[in-house]
Amino acid sequence: MVEQLDHDRGGYPAGAAAAALADLLRGGALALIPTDTLPAVAALPRFAARIWHLKQRPANKPLILMAADFDQLHPVLGVPWRQEWLELARMGWPGALTLVLPARGDWVEHLHPGGTSLGLRIPACALCRSLLRLTGPLATTSANPSGRPAARDACEAHNYFPDLPLLAPLPWSPASGQASTVLAWQESPQHRSQGSQSCWQVVRAGAFLPSHLQA
């Protein structure tokens, strides 16, 4: 059911419980959802192009695939998971860590058209994961028009995008307000020949950064 909210609860026009919002997303809607870091705009991957259009986001900036748990993410890469990736995933998920990993297939075409990688995250937000369990992985990005500051809470996200439904119940639990750390796997020909050397690039040092990568 869709829950109507009054002004005293934050001035939001309406919030949709997880089951109702999942139905809207399956129909092609975009939605505003909480995470443990910053609010996000979300869509089913096959409708991800609508996020770029809404945000006027440059087409060369990929989206992040969020999931409820590792079982949802395990098959999306289209390539075997390396031990180095699994070790870092165990350290940072659920949490404020985005791993950008080599990938191929339909998931890449939806979220990173023409690319060869996917950004993956499992947020440490129970409300968000309750929705993800119903929808499967969602294409996500920060809740702001391209070039504007990221929304820090549901009210700011709603002010940017007043026509999008919000995940209820509201208000959302306070988040960190700091973006996730983004680590990208890079593999040079030398690394491939040596076989076991890891090569992580810190794309963005955010809310979580393993101590062995801080240098």
Cβ–Cβ under 8 Å, residues 52 and 72: no
**Segment (H or E) for 16:** strand 14-16
Does residue 215 register a pLDDT over 60? no
- What torsion, rounded to 10 degrees, do the Cα atoms 100, 139, 57, 127 define? -100
Helix or strand holding residue 204 (H, E) = strand 200-204
Of the candidate ranges 5-9, 78-82, 149-153, 169-173, the one whose mean pLDDT is the lowest:
5-9
**pLDDT for 14:** 64
Q: Structure pTM?
A: 0.89
The tally of domains found in the chain comes to 1
Nearest of 60, 43, 46 to residue 143 by alpha carbon: 43
Enter the DSSP assignment of 48: T
- Tens of pLDDT along 62-91? 999 999 999 999 999 999 999 999 999 999
CATH (domain of 39): 3.90.870.10
168/211: higher pLDDT: 168
Shortest CA distance to 147 belongs to which of 209, 58, 73? Answer: 58
pLDDT recorded at residue 4: 40
Per-residue pLDDT reduced to its tens digit, 83-112: 999 999 999 999 999 999 999 999 999 999
What's the domain range around 83? Answer: 2-213
Q: What is the largest CA-CA distance in the chain?
A: 62
pLDDT the model gives residue 188: 67
Look at residue 93 and give its three-state secondary structure.
coil
How many Cβ atoms are within 10 Å of 195's Cβ, its own excluded? 6
Structure tokens at 180: 């996730």
pLDDT in tens, 113-140: 999 999 999 999 999 999 999 999 999 9
| CA distance linking residue 73 with residue 110, whole number of Å | 15
**Residue 7 pLDDT > 60, yes or no?**
no
Asked if 44 and 26 count as a contact pair (C-beta separation under 8 A), the reply is yes
Rounded to whole angstroms, the Cα distance separating 7 from 155 reads: 11
For the segment 11-67, what is each residue's pLDDT rounded down to a tens digit? 555 689 999 999 999 999 999 999 999 999 999 999 999 999 999 999 899 999 999
163, 133, 136: which is closest to 46 by C-alpha?
136
CA R_g for the chain: 17
Distance CA 34, CA 171 (A): 10
